[in-house]
Structure 1
Amino acid sequence: MLNKYPMWKYLLLSFVVLISLLYAAPNLYGEDPAIQISATRGANVKLVTLEKVEALLIQANITPKSTVLENGQILIRLTSSEDQLIAREIIDEQLGDGFVNALNFAPATPAWLAAIGGTPLKLGLDLRGGVHFLMEVDMDEAVAKAQEQMVQDFRSELREQKIRFRGIRKANTETGVILRFKDEVILDEAIAHLKPINPGLQFVDSETNNEFVLTISMTDEKIKAIKEDALQQNLSILRNRVNELGVAEPLVQRQGSDRIVVELPGVQDTARAKEILGATATLEFHPVDSVTDINDALAGRLPSSSIIYRERNGRPVVVKKKIILTGNHIVDAQSSMDEFGRPQVSISLDAKGGSKMSRFTKNNIGKPMATLFIEYLPTGKKKANGKAEIAKREEIANVATIQAQLGRSFRITGLDNAAEAHNLALLLRAGALIAPIQIIEERTIGPSLGKQNIDNGIKAMTYGMLAVVLFMFIYYRKFGAVANIALLLNIVMIIGFMSMIPGATLTLPGIAGIVLTVGMAVDANVLIFERIREELRAGKSIQRAINEGYANAFSTIADANITTLITAIILFAVGTGPIKGFAVTLMIGIATSMFTSIFGTRAIVNALWGGRNDIKKLSI
């Protein structure tokens, strides 16, 4: 029978609509102004901390909606932004520097809805407010570190193969290494061993002052690969660092060849956000040079293979330039107290790092090993090329005697206090930055501006919807009312699906995408209804006109939507930031509008007019 759907199609439509309504519902509950308290620099968030915070709020006559201690963090929900600001100021003053107190927003979704995964639509920075940072990666330092690693690797390789060399040092070009040999036979032997295992390097030999010199330089492709590697690894590490500190829905993405954009929606405190991202510390493990006398070293009589570093108290330590291990191999780090109540950091390495540490400690039991703490600090100055200048601070964190062969797990002691241990563990756990970064631009978008953007976007969508609804109802009468129902369902489905999709974020351009989708959804119904009118004018029966109207309009609607979908996919692939937000909303909107305008309205039309022979005239 024409224009009759089987029951399963109605059930499918009902299921999709129900799921969309269910997952769009959390957006009706909004968000509460909140304060998120987490530990830093050695402090622990415990039940006693929560009790202290609750007492401070009572003293200030502030009644929170709720206070919860979960996953080592306290979340305080408040009734207004004014209470939020006052409470944060009081908590900052009373708890001290051991805690990060970030202003945030917490979803007010009921527990039963949250239990099935219902969450509000994630809002972008332009709608929710927050902080935006543009960070620059120091690529010169990345190349310099690679050059230093070349020196270490070549020295180790030649010694393992028992190829004698007179000296090895970095070239002045900052992209190469110079090795000196006493005769040409040894030089050729070194080239024969090093060249096959070091692709991407150029080998040039020469003779100077009765010495044979080998200059090994990085190719342009190698330098480009090092810089790309540094950017990608720093991206990954920054994401880990933001996630480690519990910032909700962050955006961390590259911009150009040496910059990274970080956006933290909902975070209203730039200083706190800087604390999250600004730390650029890592560790290196070096053998201690026990042979060189410290006084000779301070007088300048220092072997080329050694270097002087100082401990925090200023005491000099002579260590070998050879790096046993870097922080890149650390997969986990936890701060705690040892058996004597002293702070320590327990470290776990990846398989490659564990092998390196095991080999070295096996052959050096009873010898000292130094842990070098490296930190990059902004100077506020610019280099000649206009890039931000960063100062490198290095100090010995501790010197320990190797008591036994170490594996993938060991601990660092000798730290000043629990605060330092906790902070170091946090940075190591989040990852050591391959190259230092510096914030070169920062921008704060207040929640009031975000609210204004939302209000303006909703107004635009509402006015557009009203105009479309009135036109459809007046021009197409009852069929126009069906189209309007489908239009409302379309918006509900867009919001519901965007709330369900992990990572989908609604931005101001995204609202524009929804408005555009509303027009496209109506356009499909207009095509269908006009085709039904044509069939009726051609003298066909009402049931035949409805059937052919939907069937014949489908190809036109599909063509128009597919071309728009391809455009949206291209925008998503090549665009960044707001462009991606617009593309995501548009793609979801195209899918939902196709569903509602064809399948949805057809189901309603079939239920109201389908299969009826008593209809003399359609209200269209």
Structure 2
Amino acid sequence: MLDIPFWKRLLILGLVALGLLYAMPNLFYNRVEQHNDAIAAAERNGFESTEDSAARAGWPDFLPSGLVNLGLDLRGGAHLLGEVHVQDVYKARMDALWPELRDALAAERGTIGAIRRVEAPEGELAVEIGNPDQMARAVQIARGLAVPVTSLTGAGQDDLVVTASGNRLGIALSDAEKTAADERTVQQSLEIIRRRIDEVGTREPTIMREGKDRILIQVPGIGSAEELKQLIGTTAKLTFNPVVSRTADANARPGSGNVLLPSMDEQGIYYIIEERPVVTGEDLTDARPSFDQDGQPAVEFRFGPSGAKRFGAYTSANIGQPFAIVLDDQVISAPVIRSAITTGSGQISGAMNIDDSTRLAVLLRAGALPAEMTFLEERTIGPELGQDSIDAGRLSAVIATVAVVGYMIASYGLFGVFASVAVMVNIILILAVMSMIGATLTLPGIAGIVLTVGTAVDANVIIFERIREELRRGKRVVKAIDDGFSEAMSAIIDANVTTFIAALVMFFLGSGPVKGFAVTLTIGLVTSVFTAIYLTRLMIVVWIDMRNPKQLVL
């Protein structure tokens, strides 16, 4: 029967009201966005500033605060295409291997003779031994440092290739290990870039791999490509190294196992430090902006259990000695160890402002990029262009909606009004669902909404035409309407299911603009079925209950 039970009426109206509630924050976009940013900033920093508190008060906490995120083409922002220098990892691996190989060969110095590292091609390690007759033993020792490749394609192969020529021992990564290392490096770079961007509260960035060693980064809402490059391009390699000496000579020879690095704060001062660090930034578990005892911006950090243990052991054994805090090959500071630091926490202070301390904390939490990146393409999309896109999209949506509404009213009269109301509610429900799931709206997404406006009335057209046929057969109004809805149901379901399948294929196999179009189209299909079948039917039933018409001209 055409009658709708009371609980179903409440459910339909309740879903519509819920949609209105969750779509409402988009009417106050800037206020809600500032409210959300203030909450995120307080969570990141561990405290709420006066500005954050004022921004948070701009929108009630008890109301929904989800927004439809605007894509790069609507909001403006930055676009970068970076290339990861995977070869840097080969060199780093050989540099890290040298101390271990040196110690292993030195243990048999009496047989092998003197050993020294010599020049070698980038990413390779070359060692000369004093007794060429014992080269076989040296090769055996070097091969003992190899481990199996940890990848499916490299199963059964070692990570090192050891060669010998005269008194020269050569070591390099095997091809299988290079392939596995390249994959790990790009994936690690992707994850670190994603963490760095997420840390500063940007919304819905696009970070994806392109080709073998390239990464595409698109971040809506950020000021410029240069700002994004500063955030991503900084390696933030933090180490804590023993200090050998301090000098003003930029050409001083550091000696074997040591390096000469400039001071970040003291102009013309250099430190000779041990190359092997006590602990590194990888041992950090947390880093937060704070203030030192003089009220100056600083960064508090905390080590994990293993890092805290090593740092505690070193400071206990070197009280009264300086140690260097090194960031990206510059000595931030070189404090003297006054007492053992066994708590696993400390503070970095120096010539920095609040923005510097916040950025440094972000970089330290995210970790160091495993390899350098070169940006092959960079583009800044200004907010004015984004606003033009929004205005054009809004205008197209308004024109499409007015045209559809006008056609429906002209064709079906009062029932056309009911269908038009359903179309309006359908758009609101699309925005509500996108706000709830945090989906991103792009220009193709607007095209999907405009298309949904056109297709949303398809179900109503099918239903109304079926009702017309039933009326021509002489059926009563209520019976004709009831049969019209029943007979049209299978055609409506079939049409929407096939379109839904196509939208899912576009979503899972497409990328970028195609995916943005598929998101709004998929959501629009679901909401349009609800509004066309259930909401329109409810309005018609309420109208029949109120008017009890004996005739219907449709």
Whether TM exceeds 0.5 here: the answer is yes
Which residue of the partner structure matches residue 165 of structure 2?
Answer: 208
Structure 1: distance between partners of 2:200 and 2:450: 36
Which residue of the partner structure matches residue 391 of structure 1?
Answer: none
Q: How does 1:539-558 map to 2 (within 5 A)?
A: 542-558=477-493
Which residue of the partner structure matches residue 363 of structure 2?
Answer: 427
Contact 2:80–2:216 (8 Å) recurs in 1: yes
Q: How big is the shift at 1:616?
A: 4.3
Contact 2:80–2:225 (8 Å) recurs in 1: no
Which residue of the partner structure matches residue 71 of structure 2?
Answer: 124
Q: How does 1:82-101 map to 2 (within 5 A)?
A: none
Q: Alpha carbons of 1:430 and 1:206: their partners in 2 closer, same or farther (altered >3 Å)?
A: closer
Establish whether residue 510 from structure 1 lines up as the match of residue 445 from structure 2: yes
Establish whether residue 333 from structure 1 lines up as the match of residue 290 from structure 2: no
Could you say what secondary structure the match of 1:281 adopts? coil
Which residue of the partner structure matches residue 411 of structure 1?
Answer: 346
Contact 2:19–2:433 (8 Å) recurs in 1: yes
Q: How does 1:355-394 map to 2 (within 5 A)?
A: 357=311, 369-374=323-328, 394=329
Q: How big is the shift at 1:574?
A: 3.5
Aligned mate of 1:217, from 152, 159, 173: 173
Q: Alpha carbons of 1:350 and 1:537: their partners in 2 closer, same or farther (altered >3 Å)?
A: farther
Q: How does 1:524-563 map to 2 (within 5 A)?
A: 524-537=459-472, 542-563=477-498
Aligned mate of 1:141, from 83, 88, 113: 88
Contact 2:118–2:126 (8 Å) recurs in 1: yes
Which residue of the partner structure matches residue 501 of structure 2?
Answer: 566
Q: Which amino acid counterpart does residue 595 of structure 1 have in structure 2?
A: F
Could you say what secondary structure the match of 1:25 adopts? helix
Which residue of the partner structure matches residue 111 of structure 1?
Answer: 59
Q: Alpha carbons of 1:264 and 1:301: their partners in 2 closer, same or farther (altered >3 Å)?
A: closer
Q: How big is the shift at 1:328?
A: 2.9
Superposition RMSD on alpha carbons, in Å?
4.4
Which residue of the partner structure matches residue 426 of structure 2?
Answer: 490
Which residue of the partner structure matches residue 2 of structure 2?
Answer: 3
Q: Which amino acid counterpart does residue 436 of structure 1 have in structure 2?
A: E
Structure 2: distance between partners of 1:344 and 1:415: 7
Q: How big is the shift at 1:10?
A: 0.6
Q: How big is the shift at 1:33?
A: 13
Establish whether residue 460 from structure 1 lines up as the match of residue 396 from structure 2: yes
Contact 1:250–1:262 (8 Å) recurs in 2: no
Contact 1:127–1:508 (8 Å) recurs in 2: yes
Structure 1: distance between partners of 2:385 and 2:251: 59
Structure 1: distance between partners of 2:543 and 2:33: 49
Q: How big is the shift at 1:294?
A: 9.3
Establish whether residue 191 from structure 1 lines up as the match of residue 143 from structure 2: yes
Could you say what secondary structure the match of 1:470 adopts? helix
Could you say what secondary structure the match of 2:413 adopts? helix
Structure 2: distance between partners of 1:196 and 1:129: 47
Which residue of the partner structure matches residue 28 of structure 1?
Answer: 27
Establish whether residue 608 from structure 1 lines up as the match of residue 543 from structure 2: yes
Structure 1: distance between partners of 2:32 and 2:546: 55
Contact 1:333–1:348 (8 Å) recurs in 2: yes
Q: How big is the shift at 1:195?
A: 3.0
Q: How big is the shift at 1:231?
A: 3.5
Structure 2: distance between partners of 1:529 and 1:495: 27
Q: Which amino acid counterpart does residue 532 of structure 1 have in structure 2?
A: I
Q: Alpha carbons of 1:618 and 1:602: their partners in 2 closer, same or farther (altered >3 Å)?
A: same
Contact 2:208–2:215 (8 Å) recurs in 1: yes
Which consecutive unaligned segments of at least 5 residues does structure 1 have?
A: 39-44, 46-69, 78-105, 375-393
Which moved further from structure 2: 601-610 or 471-480? 601-610
Structure 2: distance between partners of 1:204 and 1:234: 26
Q: Which amino acid counterpart does residue 137 of structure 1 have in structure 2?
A: V
Q: Alpha carbons of 1:145 and 1:138: their partners in 2 closer, same or farther (altered >3 Å)?
A: same
Which residue of the partner structure matches residue 72 of structure 1?
Answer: 49
Contact 1:203–1:214 (8 Å) recurs in 2: no
Structure 2: distance between partners of 1:176 and 1:583: 48
Q: Alpha carbons of 1:399 and 1:599: their partners in 2 closer, same or farther (altered >3 Å)?
A: same
Could you say what secondary structure the match of 2:541 adopts? helix
Could you say what secondary structure the match of 2:237 adopts? strand
Identity of aligned residues (%): 35
Structure 1: distance between partners of 2:217 and 2:478: 57
Structure 2: distance between partners of 1:197 and 1:336: 43
Which moved further from structure 2: 507-516 or 524-533? 524-533
Could you say what secondary structure the match of 2:490 adopts? helix
Q: Alpha carbons of 1:413 and 1:270: their partners in 2 closer, same or farther (altered >3 Å)?
A: closer
Could you say what secondary structure the match of 1:444 adopts? strand
Q: Alpha carbons of 1:371 and 1:169: their partners in 2 closer, same or farther (altered >3 Å)?
A: farther
Structure 2: distance between partners of 1:593 and 1:131: 35
Q: Which amino acid counterpart does residue 281 of structure 1 have in structure 2?
A: A
Structure 2: distance between partners of 1:465 and 1:126: 23
Which consecutive unaligned segments of at least 5 residues does structure 2 have?
A: none
Q: How big is the shift at 1:518?
A: 1.3
Structure 2: distance between partners of 1:262 and 1:147: 30
Structure 2: distance between partners of 1:544 and 1:118: 45
Q: How big is the shift at 1:464?
A: 1.5
Could you say what secondary structure the match of 2:261 adopts? strand
Contact 1:507–1:581 (8 Å) recurs in 2: yes
Structure 2: distance between partners of 1:274 and 1:73: 29
Aligned mate of 2:529, from 567, 578, 594: 594
Aligned positions, number: 529
Structure 2: distance between partners of 1:617 and 1:170: 100
Query: Would you tell me which structure has more helix in proportion to its own residues?
Result: 2
**What is the TM-score when the length of structure 1 is the normalising length?**
0.71
Aligned mate of 2:384, from 436, 448, 457: 448
Q: Which amino acid counterpart does residue 13 of structure 1 have in structure 2?
A: I
Q: How big is the shift at 1:215?
A: 2.6
Q: Which amino acid counterpart does residue 492 of structure 2 have in structure 1?
A: I
Q: Which amino acid counterpart does residue 551 of structure 2 have in structure 1?
A: K
Q: How big is the shift at 1:592?
A: 0.6
Could you say what secondary structure the match of 1:617 adopts? coil
Structure 2: distance between partners of 1:571 and 1:171: 53
**What is the TM-score when the length of structure 2 is the normalising length?**
0.78
Structure 1: distance between partners of 2:29 and 2:247: 65
Structure 1: distance between partners of 2:549 and 2:258: 98
Q: Alpha carbons of 1:171 and 1:554: their partners in 2 closer, same or farther (altered >3 Å)?
A: farther
Structure 2: distance between partners of 1:294 and 1:75: 45
Could you say what secondary structure the match of 1:115 adopts? coil
Q: How big is the shift at 1:3?
A: 1.3
Establish whether residue 523 from structure 1 lines up as the match of residue 458 from structure 2: yes
1:176-213: CA deviations, max 9, x gaps?
444667633464355345335877544444443357x3
Q: Which amino acid counterpart does residue 533 of structure 2 have in structure 1?
A: I
